[in-house]
Amino acid sequence: MKNRKKQDTATAQSAIYVGFVDTPGLFASIIRRVIGQNYVHVVLGFDPELKEAYSIGRRNPAVPLFAGFERENREKILKKYPTARYQVCRVACTKVQREALQQEAKTEWERRFTHHYMVIGLLFLLAGIAFDQKNHDTCSSWLARVTQKVGLQEWQKPFPLVTPRDVYEQLGKDSCVGTLVFEGTLAELVEGSAAVVASEAGCAVGTAAASEFAGTGRDWRPRPAMN
């Protein structure tokens, strides 16, 4: 019976949440042009409102040069970028995988000042060269690294070459994995003034249209008619 309970716990269904962020600014606009989509930042969260969420990003939202591992501070980001666009997708996982990811994030948070943004790696990324620098990551390479470590997602390229577009295509709303639960501005997410939405995984419907728009950060689904 005890073994059965352990098995049930290991396979119990849970979820994580992946946030895709379209932020203003010069640095973001450069990344946007390079990867060919609007969402240039990805966040690993543990609730649909991203109250507990982690990433490799700006330590201060107003200063892009100082970046590393951070727990996302929605209120602080809100003051600088209230109109930043967000998509939040639910990704199913086991309870064990979720707990392992939370532990990974908390461990990195404890040593956050030794885990930095891999600025030099961006140059190698442009050249298609996987440059792995110790204690350095981008937002997407870290998310890829930890999700593969816990057995949640296999990535078909070296971690330093994983971009926000790759994450969007593998875990976003048009993938077979991600389910859209929120789309709107950061102000709406924080204030709860926008209704949380839900959609089926993208592979289930609209295959041709989804393929056309996959990774662009644009919604391929038809809009409801206005009365």
Confidence at residue 79, expressed as pLDDT on a 0 to 100 scale: 87
In the chain, where are the structural domains located? 12-213
> Are 92 and 176 a contacting pair, CB within 8 Å?
no
* pLDDT score, position 183: 94
CATH class of 12-213: alpha beta
Query: Mean pLDDT by 10-residue block, N- to C-terminus, for the chain (227 residues)?
Result: 51 88 73 76 96 88 75 89 92 97 96 87 77 89 97 95 94 93 93 58 38 38 34
pLDDT for position 125: 75
pLDDT value of position 158: 95
For residue 127, what pLDDT is reported?
74
**CB of 157 closer than 8 Å to CB of 64:** no
DSSP for 163-202, please give it.
-HHHHHHHHSTTSSSEEEEEEEEHHHHHHT-S-------G
Of the candidates 67, 139, 132, 145, the one whose C-alpha atom is nearest the C-alpha of residue 104 is 145
Looking at residue 224, its pLDDT comes to: 35
